[in-house]
């Protein structure tokens, strides 16, 4: 849904900062993990767009209270996902630093291996949280599909797909890091939980898309 009320003369492409350029640089971070978190942040923004275009509309009067609550919940989730953009990059920088530790002696090699494992475990936490937060976003978007302004359905559906991307992108990063670690209980738990989240995400995003297509053809 195009918006015609942004400030006159503003070029929207100039308002998004240099995040894409930072990703494009020849450095390991920010990378896919940070982009996944940013996708989740954009999903919250599109959900809040529907909320704000629903609040105050007489047609949706009896749904106002819940829509306002969803708006607040999405705002909080967006704030956390914004933080996770940096946390993911910082965690991977720690992994790289661990790999750069000296390994000339047996003691240095043991220390380096311990640091690599510790940093890798830490690096899994950020994308794991991104996937969990994005699933929360997606569940709220599914609810919004039933109570929000139907004119904003295409935007909401785009948000749902972005939330699914956030989860899939996180999964890719988690999987790569898990390969470095021993197959212990914690690793299996992270892997299994993430696989379940991906499956849930696909179902929820598909449900919103189905609702939108149904609305468009009614």
* Domains with residue ranges and CATH for the chain: 30-217 (1.20.120.680)
Higher pLDDT, 112 or 195: 112
Cα separations in angstroms, 137 against 48, 87, 119, 192, 194: 11, 19, 28, 20, 16
**105-125 pLDDT, tens digit each:** 999 999 999 999 889 888 888
Q: Give the residue-averaged pLDDT of 138-149.
A: 93
Q: What residues have CB less than 8 Å from 187, skipping those under 6 apart?
A: 178, 181
74, 199, 174, 158: CA torsion to nearest 10: -40
- Answer for the pair 46, 159: CB distance below 8 angstroms, yes or no: yes
**59-105 pLDDT, tens digit each:** 998 999 999 999 999 999 999 999 999 999 999 999 999 999 999 99
- pTM for this structure? 0.88
Q: pLDDT at position 2, please?
A: 47
DSSP H helical ranges for 55-105: 64-99
Q: pLDDT at position 166, please?
A: 94
25: tokens are 């640089």
Q: Is 152 helix (H, G, I), strand (E, B) or coil?
A: helix
Residue with tokens 């849930």: 200
Q: pLDDT at position 84, please?
A: 97
Q: pLDDT at position 30, please?
A: 92
How wide is the angle at C-alpha 137 spanned by C-alphas 134 and 139, nearest 5°? 115
Q: pLDDT at position 184, please?
A: 65
Distance CA 10, CA 156 (A): 24
């Amino acid at each position: 849904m195009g918006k015609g009320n942004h400030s006159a003369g503003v070029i929207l492409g100039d308002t998004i900062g240099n995040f894409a350029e930072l990703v494009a640089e020849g450095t390991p971070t920010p990378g896919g993990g940070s982009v996944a978190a940013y996708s989740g942040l954009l999903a919250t923004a599109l959900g809040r767009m529907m909320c704000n275009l629903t609040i105050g509309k007489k047609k949706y009067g009896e749904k106002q209270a819940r829509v306002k609550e969803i708006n607040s919940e999405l705002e909080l989730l967006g704030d956390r996902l914004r933080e996770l953009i940096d946390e993911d990059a910082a965690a991977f920088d720690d992994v790289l630093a661990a790999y750069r530790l000296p390994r000339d002696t047996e003691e240095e090699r043991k220390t380096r291996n311990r640091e690599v494992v510790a940093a890798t475990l830490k690096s899994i936490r950020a994308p794991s949280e991104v996937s969990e937060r994005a699933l929360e976003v997606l569940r709220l978007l599914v609810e919004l599909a039933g109570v929000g302004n139907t004119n904003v359905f295409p935007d909401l559906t785009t948000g749902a797909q972005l939330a699914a991307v956030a989860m899939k992108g996180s999964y890719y990063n988690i999987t790569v890091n898990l390969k470095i670690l021993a197959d212990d209980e914690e690793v299996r738990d992270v892997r299994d939980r993430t696989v379940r989240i991906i499956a849930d995400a696909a179902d929820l995003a598909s449900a919103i898309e189905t609702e939108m297509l149904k609305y468009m053809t009614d």
